[in-house]
Structure 1
Amino acid sequence: MNPATPPDPAPLTGHEQSVLAAIASHEHRWDAAFADALSVGDVRSPGHRWRTLLLVLAVVVPVAVGPMVLSSAWVLAIAAVVLLVVIPTTLVVWALRQGRVYPS
């Protein structure tokens, strides 16, 4: 047990309960599906495994097969495009979908 954590935490005060209820109602108004998923404990969508598998295959197959069928100049050109364009764009879109970046 962590010594910084009290063994028997005190119950929430009335003010703390009202603040927690306000946060919960705000989150439920903002994104009801997310709030419901948090209350159940499963935030991932049902197709999460298949999307992950397809993403891994989409990356592994070209990386494994590409150098065998393309010249080194093409491999370097494709790698440069992926590193300079595809990965940054993917990260920006992912951050926007996560809600951590707000477009101005």
Structure 2
Amino acid sequence: MGTLVGFACCNVLTALSSSYPLTFVARLVAGVMGRTLWAMLVGYAARMVPAERRGRPIALVPAGITFALSRKCPRSPHRPKSSARARPSPYWPC
């Protein structure tokens, strides 16, 4: 729970910061905490299934994360859905 709270606090600090060094450090710490959260998901997935069936969730969680990030999902909520000038972009496949 502390990692999640720390991640949220670092993101709030980043949003409110007007100093580049402070923003850099806050993003660095948020990245470390975010990566820790992603790593913890594998353990949670493994505990959700019986011991003899743990291999599949241990393999699927990191694969799913990698696939979603490579497809740039979830889509940014600030990206316009459509506009007159917007062309379809291969960088936003979701």
Query: If the TM-score is normalised by the length of the shorter chain, which range does it land in?
Result: 0.3 to 0.5
**What TM-score, normalized by structure 1, do the two folds share?**
0.33
Larger-gyration structure (1/2): 1
**What TM-score, normalized by structure 2, do the two folds share?**
0.35
- Greater relative CO, 1 or 2 (CA 8 Å, sep 6+): 2
